Amino acid sequence: MSTIETVWWLLFFAAVGLCVGSFLNVVIYRIPLGLSIGRPVWSFCPHCQARIRWYDNLPLVSYLCLRARARCCGGSISPRYPLIEVATAILLVVLLDAFFIGRVRSGLDDMAVGLSWQLAGDWPIYLAHVVLFACLLAMSAIDIEHYWIDTLFALFAVVAGCLLHTLWTPDYSFARLSGGETLQAGWLRPADGTAVACLAAFFGMIVVGVVELLRPQPEETATDADALTEAVQEVPGPGPQEAAGAMVSVMVPEPAPAAPPSVDLPVETAETAPPDQLPPVGPLRGWLLAWMLAGFLAVLIVAGAKANASDDPARHAWLRYGLPLLGYFGLILVVGAVRRPADVQIIEAIDSERPQARRMVLRELARLLPSIVLACAALLVYLHFEPGRRWMRAVLHWSPTAAGQWQPVFGLATAAAGLVVAAGIGWAVRIGGTLVFGREAFGDGDIHLMGAAGCVAGWPVVALGFVITCLIALAGWVLLLPFKQSRAIPLVPWLSLAFLGTVVFLNPLVEFQPVRNLIELVELLGLGAKS
């Protein structure tokens, strides 16, 4: 594989990551305040309201050149901006390395020569992961600050995952079997029986969602409208350490809070939350931090290029992927150590809803019943009605091309199976834990996140990531005890970190025998002979 070609792609996706991170900064800042991303359509200085010129709005570069101060008035710029920008760039570089250089994931094209040819064949699955983890990064930043997430992020990742999986079903992504033995592992695709049941459940979810969306909402009273108006008027503008801006004209609705433990903070509380209680980072320290981040990104690019030129690109993969993961872990700890009013408010919100917790999850279970009934009905037809089984298989593996390499329905079934199983794990924890303990055991916003991750990366990533999340979240909580005495844990950052680690280290994890036994058990329950 050409080193020059690899370096070019690494630099290209690093630059794309910086631009995506710049947009995420706008989203992270404006959505919790209920502000429009598209008004104003230009970036502005929060200190003097002057319009920021394009050459002062280049991701990371402008921050370094301006030494963390606005050119117009000398006001300081928050280090959050280069931090999110470089974190997004590192995400894209690590995923590119893991998929196409280190080749740590099975089911991708291992015969193509050159990174350009690999991207030409497997760009849909790479792009799906980029969208997923960009959304997770934005959700994590908001969750740490406000203890709630906007499920529109998860919905966007699900739509992208379904669409891109529908486009990506090459032959080499399927496992090759011979005599009951696996000759070559493929992508994590469902067996036919699992695919049929999960597609039925997926369509049931869509129907329930559309019905709830179209259902008339109770009319807002004058008192409620006045209270909402007063809350909006009290929303503070960008603080002295913030430099806000918008890059596209997109209207984003006000976020709706989800459920605890990492959600369910009232919108009014989140919008009117005062600034952090710890002193902000000074411009000089922020400028030095930005240089360190830029240096680390450059090291990752060089390491990827050197790995590409070596005979064994996966030799030091654990180091190339482990260091960024460790850095994200430290970042969550540092940002999470800040004491915020939301730490107390989220506990009060959870306790206030405790008397209604069991009734609430029973209503949620009722909304899940149509999907469960449809899945069971489809599975019964598949098992006991031979003409129906033949028709279902024909639809699943239908191909509009003569070669048969593109199977859009089965691609959609791959995404649906990941979403349904991953969300099912979350709902089982939420409903079962709430009924047993009498308080909300898991946030429904976190379940949307798990479903989005399963839709893109597959349910084993979510199942393994959920276990890893429990371990690292507990470790993080213990490390934060001296700084932050709060019973609530913003779970989204830990879920995101665990999912990223599971994606890049999935093959070694799957080779662990207990994990392999679990996957085989689920395949048996799905009644999924591969034929």
Structure confidence at residue 223 as a pLDDT band (50, 70, 90): very low
Mean local confidence (pLDDT), 3-27: 92
The mean pLDDT of the chain is 80
Q: How far is the C-alpha of 472 from the C-alpha of 497, rounded, in Å?
A: 9
Q: How far is the C-alpha of 267 from the C-alpha of 318, rounded, in Å?
A: 41
The whole-number pLDDT of residue 290 equals 87
The whole-number pLDDT of residue 392 equals 94
Largest CA distance in the chain: 75
The whole-number pLDDT of residue 480 equals 83
The whole-number pLDDT of residue 161 equals 96
Mean local confidence (pLDDT), 421-438: 90
What residue spans of 234-356 are helical by DSSP H?
A: 267-271, 283-309, 317-336, 342-352
Q: Please answer whether residues 297 and 90 qualify as being in contact, where contact means their C-beta atoms are separated by less than 8 angstroms.
A: yes
**In this predicted model, what pLDDT tens digit does every residue of 465-515 receive, in sequence order?**
999 998 999 898 888 888 776 666 788 999 999 999 999 998 888 777 777
Q: How far is the C-alpha of 220 from the C-alpha of 233, rounded, in Å?
A: 18
Structure tokens at 141: 């930043």
The answer to whether residue 372 scores a pLDDT higher than 90 is: yes
The whole-number pLDDT of residue 37 equals 76
Q: How far is the C-alpha of 305 from the C-alpha of 10, rounded, in Å?
A: 8
The whole-number pLDDT of residue 260 equals 37
Nearest residue to 252 (alpha-carbon basis) of 85, 443, 26, 51: 26
The whole-number pLDDT of residue 366 equals 92
Give the residue with greater pLDDT, 448 vs 250.
448
Structure confidence at residue 217 as a pLDDT band (50, 70, 90): low
Q: How far is the C-alpha of 340 from the C-alpha of 144, rounded, in Å?
A: 10
Burial (Cβ within 10 Å: 0-12, 13-18, ≥19) of residue 494:
buried
The whole-number pLDDT of residue 269 equals 32
The whole-number pLDDT of residue 62 equals 87
The whole-number pLDDT of residue 214 equals 84
Place of tokens 């030409």: 120
What percent of the chain has a predicted confidence (pLDDT) above 70? 79
The whole-number pLDDT of residue 494 equals 93
Strand 181-184 and strand 176-178: pairing? antiparallel
Structure confidence at residue 523 as a pLDDT band (50, 70, 90): low
The whole-number pLDDT of residue 280 equals 54
Query: Is the CA virtual torsion 205, 210, 215, 217 positive or negative?
Result: positive
The answer to whether residue 142 scores a pLDDT higher than 50 is: yes
Query: Is the CA virtual torsion 485, 280, 36, 22 positive or negative?
Result: negative
Mean local confidence (pLDDT), 399-405: 82
Place of tokens 């280090």: 79
The answer to whether residue 445 scores a pLDDT higher than 50 is: yes
Q: How far is the C-alpha of 516 from the C-alpha of 523, rounded, in Å?
A: 11
Q: Please answer whether residues 503 and 129 qualify as being in contact, where contact means their C-beta atoms are separated by less than 8 angstroms.
A: yes
Structure tokens at 457: 């990366």
What residue spans of 397-485 are helical by DSSP H?
A: 408-437, 444-457, 459-480
Mean local confidence (pLDDT), 190-208: 92
Mean local confidence (pLDDT), 128-133: 97
Beta strands in 40-125 (DSSP E): none
The whole-number pLDDT of residue 144 equals 86
Q: Please answer whether residues 411 and 165 qualify as being in contact, where contact means their C-beta atoms are separated by less than 8 angstroms.
A: yes
What percent of the chain has a predicted confidence (pLDDT) above 90? 38
The whole-number pLDDT of residue 145 equals 82
Cα–Cα separations (whole angstroms), residue 426 to 91, 194, 474, 519: 25, 18, 18, 17
Cα–Cα separations (whole angstroms), residue 219 to 34, 212, 224, 230, 250: 21, 16, 10, 19, 27
